Amino acid sequence: MVHPSRGPAVFVHGLWVTAASWSPFVQPWRAAGYEVHTPEWPVLAGREVEALRQDPPPELGLLTIEAVVDAMADHIRALDRPPLLVGHSFGGLFVQLLLDRGLGRAGVAINPAPIAGLVPGWRTLRAAAPAILRPDGGRRPYALTPRLWADRYANAAPVALRDETWARYVVPTSGRIIHQAAFWRGTRIDARRRRQPLLITGADQDRLVTPYLSRSAWRIQRRSPAPTDYLDFPGRSHLLIAEPGWEAVAQACIAWDQTRPPPAGGGDESPDHLVSA
């Protein structure tokens, strides 16, 4: 039974994974009384992981940031009340873009891909370079090998978990989205107009979205009149929603949301703060 004060929560996944990547992370949210939604990206919906690996559809390579955000916006508008938005990686970027459109009652951006204006450090550039520099890379799907998944995405996870997650939900992704993000196309937000609370997280072992990027996004988002908080998770990689200790990540995000009063026409007067978990 859903607790009446919690309402819906929409979870937006990132690159190289399907919506199955939210399992088991969403379990504590259901237990806390949230009505959990895990919509799939366009093109990925209705397709099996193995089929996407063996024969990626050409339209996957051309999938845009705008198309994904529009699909998530349609899902959000169909709900009976504004949801909490939770995104991981590029899903965290998409959550910020959705908040920028005035959607959602609050947002949690877990190790989010960079919004426009942020210049990635060498680690992030090194991870993205193969996808950006390949011929016609902005039109073709881009897949991670098991080695790259282990080295760039799940580097703090046990070997068995790397193998399990690879088998369950790792798929090719859109080359167009990677190129758009690299050149700040479709990723611009105006923090000053955001009225919903936002939490951004970082992890010191993350090789894709370094703590530098997460904190830089937090600094930009602090221009909002709404509460804008940062939560650091030491010892975690980009796979922090699934690797050992994921329960603490989920519970910290839930606690952040539950300590906030229901929104009433804008942000409250809570101070911004930098915290650690």
Domains of the chain: 8-276 (3.40.50.1820)
Rounded-to-integer distance, Cα 197 and Cα 105, Å: 8
- Backbone φ/ψ region at 111: left (φ over 0), alpha (ψ -120 to 50), beta: left
Cβ–Cβ < 8 Å for 116, 265: no
Query: How confident is residue 14, by pLDDT bands cut at 50, 70 and 90?
Result: very high
Lowest mean pLDDT, pick from 42-56, 105-119, 134-148, 179-193: 134-148
Bridge partner list, 9: 36, 84
| Whole-number Å distance between alpha carbons of 105 and 138 | 33
Alpha-helical segments (H) within the chain: 27-31, 49-54, 58-61, 65-77, 90-100, 122-133, 146-148, 159-169, 175-182, 211-221, 246-258
Give pLDDT, residue 18: 98
The mean pLDDT value for 27-42 works out to 97
Determine the Cα–Cα distance for residues 98 and 70; give it in Å rounded to an integer: 9
Statement: the pTM of the whole predicted model exceeds 0.85? yes
In the numeric block, the tokens 């370079």 are attached to 129
Higher pLDDT, 186 or 120: 186
